[in-house]
Amino acid sequence: MRGYNLLKHESVEYYRLRERNECEAALNATCEQARKAHAQLAQAYARLVELHELEQLGALPSGKVTSLSEALHEREETVYGGTHAPGPGSRSR
């Protein structure tokens, strides 16, 4: 992971590098579970890059995704956050 420490953790270049590294890790994983986990992480980093690019194009207001996420977590009566978030092993109906 050369150049890894030179990038800020919140920069789009960092996310691109992480996506590439996770794709490579998925290809080199020795079991299906690890391949799937690395592939999911690669997709998550790709989404972060996509969101950044949409913000740069003006198609998505800056901070919109973050503000929506924070609002959901601040609500008291949601399954997404607050004190009523489901615990491990609980299922939605």
Cα dihedral 93/39/3/56 (nearest 10): -60
pLDDT at residue number 16: 92
pLDDT at residue number 55: 81
pLDDT at residue number 57: 84
pLDDT at residue number 59: 79
Single pTM value for the model:
0.60
| The residue to which tokens 């996770």 are assigned | 22
pLDDT at residue number 12: 85
| The residue to which tokens 């890059």 are assigned | 49
Q: Average pLDDT across each block of 10 residues of the chain; the chain has 93 residues. List them in order.
A: 51 90 96 96 89 81 65 59 51 48
